[in-house]
Amino acid sequence: MESDVTQELTVLGLETSCDETAAAVVRGRAPGPGVILSNIVSSQIAVHRPYGGVVPEIAARAHVEIVDLIVAQALDDAGVMLGELDGIAVTAGPGLIGGVAVGLTTAKGLALASGKQLIALNHLEAHALTARLTDGVAFPFLLLLVSGGHCQLLICEGVGRFTRLGTTIDDAAGEAFDKTAKLLGLGFPGGPAIETAAKLGNAKRFRFPRPLVDGEGFDFSFSGLKSAVRRAGEVEGLDVVTVRDIAASFQAAAVDVLTQRSLKAMRAMRERDLNMRCLVVAGGVAANESLSRSLRAAAVTEGFDLVVPRPSLCTDNGAMVAWAGIERLGLGLTDGMSAAARARWPLDQRRQGVPGAKS
């Protein structure tokens, strides 16, 4: 059900769940599109690069040092005073608990100081609803959520109403990209590094496995693919040409897995006549151009529209949090000062009745 709020809402969104300190001001009403008045992201990539991944303690400290400045800049760029907001939205999980706590504490302070409503959000729902911010996508839609920590296929029936079809049984897609990049010496973050190297490589040199691609259900697996990459590197060596070829072959395999599982889900939705004709891709891996091209071709064959937000809105940002805040505030779904930071927070409520899905 869409929100029945007719007036536009203006919400500040804060995001600190991993290694980006982000704040944004968004105005609009469901079902969208909305207007992004500001969207400030401070990345910690340079800080974590020497370690080959995100160090939670360092990330939390970096959030503390800059979050107030990022919020001030977001409000200033939007030309909005704190008192002019309708609400303050913040990621309350899942994520690195230290970073999540920094953002949540900051948002609570701002809400108390301004007398505005607090909306404590699931980070994954913020990703999921981004397609409504950008394209006004109607419920229900099929969602492929692919990021460093998550890889899921879900039915999105409304705000807070998600049914999981499948998930990864080991590594998430983004995690597999990061680990493969590290194995190949391509640096951090792994996703963009793999994509850049793959453009110069031969994707047919290595025939890597496509785990679970023909299996039952809708689950994913990337651990075996990562192991195959390691073995190829040990056998062939890691000269420049081989690194590029492995990167291209790995990316092709990962894209095939994601595409084929999504294709199966689209067919299942069409067969059940769920009045669903849109596939939304969200999360950092959605920024991969090869994946978008492959999914677009698959969607066309099943009569689905594909919606992929622009890359800056696929990776972690405050605009997606602010928009999810607008959606929830419009439905009267707000939170008190007792809202807690969560390291884990399942998005879905799994239920029986979906062919091939685990219940």
Instruction: Give the CA count within 13 Å in the CB-facing half-sphere of 288.
Output: 35
Give CA torsion, residues 75, 66, 22, 341, to 10 deg.
Answer: -110
Q: Mean pLDDT highest for which of 182-191, 219-228, 244-253, 263-272?
A: 244-253
pLDDT band at 352 (very low <50, low <70, confident <90, very high): very low
CATH 3.30.420.40 range(s) for the chain read 9-135+312-330, 141-311
More confident residue, 190 or 75: 75
Give CA torsion, residues 60, 64, 69, 71, to 10 deg.
Answer: 70
Structure tokens at 40: 């400030």
Q: 141-311 in CATH: which number? A: 3.30.420.40
- With a cut of 50, say whether residue 1 has pLDDT above it: no
pLDDT band at 358 (very low <50, low <70, confident <90, very high): very low
What confidence tens digit (pLDDT) does each residue in 241-263 have? 999 999 999 999 999 999 999 99
- With a cut of 80, say whether residue 26 has pLDDT above it: yes
Report pTM: 0.91
- With a cut of 60, say whether residue 3 has pLDDT above it: no
- With a cut of 80, say whether residue 34 has pLDDT above it: yes
Instruction: Give the CA count within 13 Å in the CB-facing half-sphere of 18.
Output: 20
What confidence tens digit (pLDDT) does each residue in 66-118 have? 999 999 999 999 999 999 999 999 999 999 999 999 999 999 999 999 999 99
Distance CA 87, CA 198 (A): 43
Q: 9-135+312-330 in CATH: which number? A: 3.30.420.40
